[in-house]
Amino acid sequence: MLVVTKEQKSQTEPPFPNDLYEAFKIIKEFGSSQPLLAFYNCGDNSGASQAHKHIQIIPLKTDGSVQPPIKKAYDEIHDRHVGKSIAR
Protein backbone atom coordinates (compact mmCIF):
# COMPACT_ATOMS: atom_id res chain seq x y z
CA MET A 1 0.00 0.00 0.00
CA LEU A 2 1.04 3.59 -0.50
CA VAL A 3 0.12 6.59 1.61
CA VAL A 4 0.38 9.54 -0.78
CA THR A 5 -0.14 13.26 -0.14
CA LYS A 6 -3.04 14.92 -1.95
CA GLU A 7 -0.86 17.89 -2.86
CA GLN A 8 2.30 17.39 -4.87
CA LYS A 9 5.05 17.28 -2.23
CA SER A 10 8.67 16.32 -2.76
CA GLN A 11 9.86 12.92 -1.52
CA THR A 12 13.04 14.63 -0.31
CA GLU A 13 11.04 16.45 2.42
CA PRO A 14 10.74 14.68 5.77
CA PRO A 15 7.38 13.08 6.54
CA PHE A 16 5.02 15.43 8.33
CA PRO A 17 3.11 14.36 11.48
CA ASN A 18 -0.08 13.95 9.45
CA ASP A 19 1.73 11.63 6.98
CA LEU A 20 2.86 9.44 9.88
CA TYR A 21 -0.59 9.52 11.48
CA GLU A 22 -2.26 8.30 8.27
CA ALA A 23 0.26 5.45 7.96
CA PHE A 24 -0.31 4.57 11.62
CA LYS A 25 -4.10 4.42 11.08
CA ILE A 26 -3.64 1.97 8.20
CA ILE A 27 -1.31 -0.23 10.24
CA LYS A 28 -3.77 -0.25 13.16
CA GLU A 29 -6.72 -1.10 10.89
CA PHE A 30 -5.12 -3.69 8.63
CA GLY A 31 -2.27 -4.96 10.80
CA SER A 32 -4.38 -7.15 13.07
CA SER A 33 -4.48 -10.03 10.59
CA GLN A 34 -0.88 -9.75 9.37
CA PRO A 35 2.09 -7.70 10.61
CA LEU A 36 2.86 -4.64 8.48
CA LEU A 37 5.95 -2.49 8.10
CA ALA A 38 5.82 1.14 6.98
CA PHE A 39 8.86 2.91 5.60
CA TYR A 40 9.75 6.20 3.97
CA ASN A 41 12.72 6.51 1.67
CA CYS A 42 13.54 10.14 1.02
CA GLY A 43 16.21 10.47 -1.61
CA ASP A 44 18.43 8.84 -4.19
CA ASN A 45 20.68 7.22 -1.57
CA SER A 46 17.72 5.54 0.11
CA GLY A 47 16.31 4.05 -3.07
CA ALA A 48 13.55 6.59 -3.66
CA SER A 49 12.40 6.22 -7.24
CA GLN A 50 9.31 8.46 -7.21
CA ALA A 51 9.43 12.22 -6.83
CA HIS A 52 6.04 12.53 -5.09
CA LYS A 53 5.85 12.11 -1.32
CA HIS A 54 4.68 8.67 -0.20
CA ILE A 55 5.05 6.14 2.59
CA GLN A 56 5.13 2.48 1.66
CA ILE A 57 3.37 -0.15 3.76
CA ILE A 58 4.23 -3.79 3.14
CA PRO A 59 3.05 -7.03 4.75
CA LEU A 60 5.53 -9.14 6.68
CA LYS A 61 5.55 -12.92 6.63
CA THR A 62 4.84 -14.92 9.75
CA ASP A 63 5.72 -18.35 8.37
CA GLY A 64 9.51 -17.92 8.49
CA SER A 65 9.87 -17.46 4.73
CA VAL A 66 11.94 -14.76 3.04
CA GLN A 67 11.17 -11.22 4.25
CA PRO A 68 11.46 -7.98 2.26
CA PRO A 69 15.02 -6.54 2.38
CA ILE A 70 13.88 -3.52 4.44
CA LYS A 71 12.92 -5.91 7.27
CA LYS A 72 16.58 -6.83 7.84
CA ALA A 73 17.49 -3.16 8.20
CA TYR A 74 14.57 -2.68 10.61
CA ASP A 75 15.67 -5.65 12.73
CA GLU A 76 19.14 -4.12 13.08
CA ILE A 77 17.79 -0.99 14.84
CA HIS A 78 18.61 -1.91 18.42
CA ASP A 79 17.18 1.16 20.16
CA ARG A 80 13.81 1.34 18.41
CA HIS A 81 10.76 2.00 20.55
CA VAL A 82 7.82 0.44 18.74
CA GLY A 83 4.50 1.89 19.83
CA LYS A 84 6.06 4.00 22.58
CA SER A 85 6.53 7.72 22.79
CA ILE A 86 10.02 8.88 23.63
CA ALA A 87 10.57 11.83 25.95
CA ARG A 88 13.50 13.93 24.77
Catalytic residue annotation: 54
What is the Cα–Cα distance from 42 to 82, expressed in whole angstroms?
21
Q: Which residues contact 47 (CB under 8 A, 6 or more apart)?
A: 41
User: 38: helix, coil or strand?
Assistant: strand
Length of the chain: 88
CB 15 within 8 A of CB 56: no
